[in-house]
Structure 1
Amino acid sequence: MQGQRSIIIAVFSTSSGSGKTITAINLAAGLAEEGYRTCLVDLDLQFGDVMGYLDMVSDITLADAQRAILQDEENFRIDDYLTEYRCGETSFAVLPPPREINDAYQVSVEAVEKIIGSMKGFNFIVLDMTAVFSTLNLSLLDMSTVITYVGVMDFLPAVKNYKVGYDTLLRFQYEERKICLVENEADPDRYIKAQDVERLLGAEFFHHLPYDYQAITTSIRMGRPLLYSVPLSPLTQSYWRLVDRFTNRRNTEDQHKENSQQEKKNFISRLWRKVNRQKAYLAR
């Protein structure tokens, strides 16, 4: 697999409760359902809840992978440290966070970079990140192909927080086309309108996720992504459209976006061509 690079989707936010973990899980599930070899990495090192959401248990975590890769990088095999999530015929890999707080403090940027870099056999790597601009997060945002920046625009402090985070990403010189702005819990009847937030940001949202508390509750109770537990939910359908956009399977409404979105669409199209090359290579 040498020379092949995965598409890395960082799911990032600057506030807790933004829905980034649910977004990361359903992106991974949707990409896997579409036939791509996908790995979901839980990088909330102290309080990650991907495993709990998916009702999974594993004794092997990122901490074990770190020890192994630092001791013998040449013989390191990432597959030895991944846990498989399976639903029916579809599966994706999960790299859990450390189980102990002390292990979380010992995780190094160098080791995580090497671990992510070793995942060359995957078409997509989805990173569920913490809501801070830490050294580790900045390093992984650098490595990422796309930054899915999630936020809930339900009251003014949240909007301010989201703008500060977006401005910070730009100050760190991440290209605007690399940052996909995602509004979670979108509600057309809400006092704060998406158009007003877009004017404040000086950028358009890439995607809107509708509010659907009942669907999320059912999904968590069943220990399955929304795509498998409540397939007819409006939120589930919105996640499918988001997956489609990352794989270039755009529907009619996507094709009629404003011209200001064209550059970002072209960027996603280039990612899609890259995935096709990877799939052809892996099929040999």
Structure 2
Amino acid sequence: MPLTIPISSMQARVSELRAEFQCSSGVTHLVSKYHTAPIKIAKVFPLGGPAGVIVMDVSPGLLAGDRYELEWKIGPNAHVYMTNQSFTKVHPCGDPVRGGSSIVQKFQLQQGAVVESMPEPIMLYKDAAFVNETEVQLSSGSVWMQAEIVCPGRTLRGERFQYRSYRNRLRVRHEGELIYAQNGLIEPGKQLLTAPGCLGGMTHTGVLYAFSDAITSRHVEAVRNAIAALPQREGQPVLAGVTATHKFGIAVMTAGMAAWPLQEVLAEAWQTLRRVLLHQAPLQFHK
């Protein structure tokens, strides 16, 4: 008879991924990497100068007590586009002693470096507890962009805001100066997320951040106009807003009833920034 091990009883893991990229003759190369299971860089793809990176997770997802630590070092004028294979699946946290799961990412960008981090959405299963923490160190002329979409559960299975908690922390520094700090906490069991002024009738949320000392109000307006020109999808209402941050940044925030309409909005914002900020054509990259 085969042995079945419940997910909640599997051993927790601390998994690491470290990678460094350098630019030579206008082409970005992966010059060093280190990883421990279950995460790794599946492959690096040449994108006509920039390097495309897919992060692979060979496990069922983040289990109770798991911690993923990722560190990215991007050398002068190097350009990296990164994504992952599928949704980040956060499983139930059945054991309060071991706690939830977490991902901690650190980005260090040297002068003129560019990072476009566009992962698939985060799926918070029933009873999941998850901490998502990001630290960014920018240098003069560097650009960091990252998208994030959060799903309230497997809605087709009846899960909707049944996870325990979701904490999101972001710190961005430019030449050592803290220019942006965000620390959000969602606890559906303690908060009225469906109240007016909160999420109302929406279930999914998304955000795209872009930070660079080259960002001006012109870039904010370009993104705002691009999103406003998107067609409305019947039966899929989407709320979206674009704002400048306190210094050197743009935040695009969205809410809707499914992940894919938010992906469409954030992709339009991202491709617009590629055009007006990076002066590059839309990226065509298929996993």
Q: Taking structure 1 as the reference length, what is the TM-score of the superposition?
A: 0.31
- Higher helix proportion: 1
- Higher strand proportion: 2
Q: Report the structure number with the largest CA radius of gyration.
A: 2
Higher relative contact order (CA 8 A, sep 6+): 1
